[in-house]
Structure formats: structure tokens, C-alpha cells
Structure 1
């Protein structure tokens, strides 16, 4: 190997090493720093899968590099190209048996972890499970604590070393609830409630986010999941209940309108609000059967039916004249939540 090739190899190795070092410091790697039992099991499954893949990948890449170097063509090579093909039963057994064994091991491990990580499966703990009802809105998160009778918007407080049963739904487009360091994501869907059990093993502020594209301000659907001691949690609940800021039915309807919101804390919540959100969406908010109707334009002024194939006729102008509802609620008025901006601690 001449000097130029050696320099090129060193440059390539240095660049790859730099990329790896930079990647280890990214926030996207926080899944490898779990702070709860569910997150730990998921990290272990990722590690096992990576190791099994490397068992095949590393030897294949090494042999490929060796073949390229060993049998490369040289400028002074005058030997004729006369490949000799032959069959080797031993080699066939080796390069078929190893992948089959890896796939079997991976299947068994994945099946066991799939059962262990069932999101609806309660976590074993000496502490009583706390229920938090989560509703994804446009573009904000509503967290209700039915046992404590309080609610928050865009932030979550939970006690450490305590199982949390999240009941999730959506009052709008489907989204995904995700706290990477505590466990994997699960969908929030209108008209139904899903369940996710998580636990934080130590105090801290953990990043939470919505993982689905849901429109203009979907990127602002981040929240903080704060794990505190049980004593601090009880104190926070008492302070929230003493704040006197109640979430009324009218207040919720305004909150549910499309728009962003600040962090809020509510001292009381309407009884059965979460259940009504799920029930109302499944019973009364659904669209009529689509196969019986032609699609209509969104503009209230133009009710022209779409032409065949679902396309608007040329020159219709319905999209151009349709109002911009990005910052408006369903009533047509701008979302005004200033009177509900009660910042939590």
C-alpha cells in the first residue's frame, strides 16, 4: 500500500470516527440512556438485535475488504482471467447455518420481549399505580389526573418509582405519545382509548413529544415529563388544587380549538371528561359513510362536488378562496387562551 492510499484510508477512518463521536452526543441517542424499567428492556432489545446483526455484518465486511485487496487487479498484472468455479459443502453449511441460527435467536428474543413489553401490561411495583389521562389536541397536550382531580397542559408531573397508567386518546388527528427515556411511543386516536404503562426510576426532567405529523404546529407539541419524589408530588398536587383555576366544559371546548398554548394548571376538571371525549368522537363526530356521498369542497361558500377521481374542476378556485383556519378555532374566532394561561411549576 503506497503513501497516498494510506493517507486516504486515515482520512476516511477519521471522518467515520468523528461522525460516531458526534452521534453519541445527540439527543436522538437518549433512548440508550433509559430511566425506567420499560426503557431499559427496550434498550436491551436494541443492543441484542444490533449484536446479532453484527455477527453477520462484521465478518462479511471484513471478508469483502480482504477479497478486494487480495484479488485486486494491478497495473503489471499480465495473468489471464480464468476463474475456476467449484462447490464446497462445508462452506455452504457455514454461510447458511449461521444466518438461520441468528434469525431463530432473534425471533425467540423478540417474541419474549414483545410479551414483556406489552404496553397494556401493568408494571410490578410495591407502590400504587397512578392513572393519567392523556388527550392530544391541535397543537397541545392535556393531562388529566382523575384520582387527584387536577389537570395540566403541556407538562406532566409524576412520582418516581411509581407505575403510571397512561390512558390515551385524541380530540383531533391521530398522534403518538412518546417519552423516549421512559419507554416507547403509542398512538393516540380519536374515538378510542389506548393504554401505556411507564415508570421513572429516578427524579429528573424527561423530554416528551408527539411523534406524528398533525399539521402546522405539530413541531411545538413537546412537553416535559418531570419525575419527583412522592412527597414533592403530593405537595405539587396540593398547590395545584389550591390554585383555584378550574377547567370548565366551555374552557375545554376553547382549549380543544386548533392553536398553540402555554403551560397551564387546573385545580379541578369536569367529571368524566376523558370518557366523553372518547365516546362523543366514536358516536357523534364520525363522518357519514363515504361510499354513499360525493366529496365536497372545504369552502363553505362553494359546495361544488368534486369531479370524478376526487379532483376539483379546473378554475374552481375553491382552495384559493377557502379561509385560512390555521390559527382559528372551529367557531371561526382566533384561539384566545390568555385567561387560561396558568403556569405550572
Structure 2
């Protein structure tokens, strides 16, 4: 074997084990995206796998064609003076290489669009079941969950019943966050001054990790929470016990909770902050601005100026109509 070929073979034999080791990093149960524990995550997993296998098929076809062309049209002694035919303006070829990417986009877009609209409603497996409504409010850097019907509020954890759809009402006190529970479904943004809705459901009992998937500063890595999926009987038992024994949430306690900073404790209250403030309504999230100004993350005069400009703009639009 020539020395140059031997050199490349030795390099390949050294790189191959490292490549296999890299691939093995994906063989862990901690790869939660492909370990769904609810119908929403199951739909999204199928969509991810469809995209992966479809694109892998395209890659294989390309490399096979690449190898065939390299071999068939390699330079040989008998074709040193070969001149390929001029294919400029070949209508058939131009139609083919234009149609192929269009078909690829269609094949990926149809299931994606279908799944996206489907997931804006409760999971079809539980369409006849009344969803439990939970307001999920993001604050720097903690999560606040309010149960308006049950009159309960928790911090940094949320309990949900198994096999019951959950209608999360998403908003934020300050910066834009994103609620993400990988084993139950994809993320959706929490934004101050507006509300978003996210439907999720657990069909397994267990504790699942939730987090903020949108970077929000120095405490971002600690903005996590636990999702405890339990049997319906256990969930409603917890509701009754909490309503009877948990301390009543006060405005003072709530204002302390939403101050900028990491909160590692898990807290439980009877009553919710929705009784006096709803951060999904425009303007009400400004109550937390002084705390942010103290920590140097925002300037109060800038926010007030922007808010004043927006109000003037809305007023001019109204007068114009």
C-alpha cells in the first residue's frame, strides 16, 4: 500500500472510535425529547423523527449519487480528451432540480402545519374531558403557578392530574421567558402584558423537569420547576389538604416573591395573586419595574417613557378613526 494511502487509513482508524463514542452520547434515557410522557410530546416526537428520517434519506441519496458520479466520470487514460456535452438551457433538468426542493419542503411542511394547528387545542385523546386551568407566571428567576378554580398558588412546582388536559395560561412579570416541559411538550413564550395558552397532558405518573428555555440573565440556569403528575384521586386529595392547611397568600408575600433573584424554595399558598393583579393585562406588569431598576437590569424612566409613547400613539390612532 502506498505511504499516502497508509497515512489516511491510520488517521481514519484513529478517528472512527472517537466518532462512535460521540454517537453513543445520544443513547441515554436523559434524552427527554424522545421520551414522551404525554400525547402532546408524542405528536412532537413523531414529527421530529419524521423530519430526521426524511432528511437522512435525502443525505443517503445524495452521497450515493455523489459516489456513482465520482466513479463513473473519474479520469482514466482512455478519456483524457473527453468533453462533456453542453447542457445549458436543458428544460427537463431545470424542472427536475427545481421541483425536488419544492417537494421536500411540502413533505416537511404538511405534517408540521397539521401538528401545529392540532396542538393549539386540547389533546384529541381527551377532548371530552374538561381541562384544568393553571396560570403559569414567569418571574426573574422563578415560576408561579395559580389554580383559579381551586384557589391555590404554588411556586417552583406544579401538581397536575394524570390523563387530564392542562390549559396553561402563560404570562410574565418581567422579561420574556418560555415555559418548557420536554417530556410533556414543546415550549411557548411567557410575555408580560399579554397571555398565551399552552395545552399539555401527562399520561404517566411521575415527576418531570420544567425550565425556562429563553435566556433571561444571570439566574436563568436556576429557573426550573418540578411537574408532579399524579392519579386523579391523589391530586384532588392534595387540593383539599392545601385549601385547608396552606397559608393565605398576601400582597406583601407575593411582592417579595416576584423580586428579582433566584428562589430555590418550593412554596404553597391558598388564594392566588389573580385576586388583585393579572400580568397578562397590558400595564399591570409595570408594578415590578422598580425592583428591576434596583438591580440595574432596566431603567424606570425608559419604561415609563416607552409606556407613555405607546399610550400617545394609541390615542392618536383612536382620534384618527
- TM-score tier (shorter): 0.7 to 0.9
User: Could you tell which deviates more after superposition, 100-109 or 36-45?
Assistant: 100-109
Q: Is residue 18 from structure 1 mapped to residue 21 from structure 2 by the alignment? A: yes
**What do you get for the CA RMSD once the two structures are aligned?**
3.2
Distance 1:283 1:205, change over 3 A: closer
Q: Which residue in the other structure is 2:84 paired with? A: 84
CA contact (8 A) 2:172 2:190 kept: yes
Q: Is residue 206 from structure 1 mapped to residue 176 from structure 2 by the alignment? A: no
User: Could you tell which deviates more after superposition, 16-25 or 193-202?
Assistant: 16-25
CA contact (8 A) 2:141 2:262 kept: yes
Aligned positions of 1:57-68 closer than 5 A: 57-67=59-69
Aligned positions of 1:45-124 closer than 5 A: 45-67=47-69, 80=80, 82-87=82-87, 95-118=97-120, 121-124=121-124
Give the deviation of 1:92 after TM superposition.
Answer: 5.9
Q: Which residue in the other structure is 2:150 paired with? A: 148
Q: Following the alignment from structure 2 to structure 1, what is the Cα–Cα distance between the partners of residues 97 and 276?
A: 56
CA contact (8 A) 1:249 1:270 kept: no
Q: Following the alignment from structure 2 to structure 1, what is the Cα–Cα distance between the partners of residues 285 and 92?
A: 67
Q: Which residue in the other structure is 1:190 paired with? A: 192
| Higher fraction of helix | 2
Q: Which residue in the other structure is 1:309 paired with? A: none
- Tell me the matched-pair count: 287
Gap runs ≥5 in structure 1 = 287-297, 299-322, 331-345
Q: Which residue in the other structure is 2:224 paired with? A: 222
Distance 1:158 1:72, change over 3 A: same
Q: Which residue in the other structure is 2:12 paired with? A: 9
CA contact (8 A) 2:133 2:148 kept: yes
TM-score of the pair, normalised by structure 2: 0.77
Q: Which residue in the other structure is 1:127 paired with? A: 129
Instruction: Give the secondary structure class of the aligned counterpart of 2:228.
Output: strand
Q: Which residue in the other structure is 2:295 paired with? A: 325
Distance 1:284 1:161, change over 3 A: closer
Distance 1:97 1:284, change over 3 A: closer
CA contact (8 A) 1:167 1:195 kept: yes
Q: Following the alignment from structure 1 to structure 2, what is the Cα–Cα distance between the partners of residues 69 and 34?
A: 44
CA contact (8 A) 2:173 2:285 kept: no
Q: Is residue 282 from structure 1 mapped to residue 283 from structure 2 by the alignment? A: yes
Instruction: Give the secondary structure class of the aligned counterpart of 1:252.
Output: helix
Q: Which residue in the other structure is 2:161 paired with? A: 159
CA contact (8 A) 1:207 1:222 kept: yes
C-alpha deviations, 1:53-85, integer Å up to 9, x for none?
2232111123334555676779xx898475524
User: Could you tell which deviates more after superposition, 229-238 or 264-273?
Assistant: 264-273
Instruction: Give the secondary structure class of the aligned counterpart of 1:99.
Output: helix
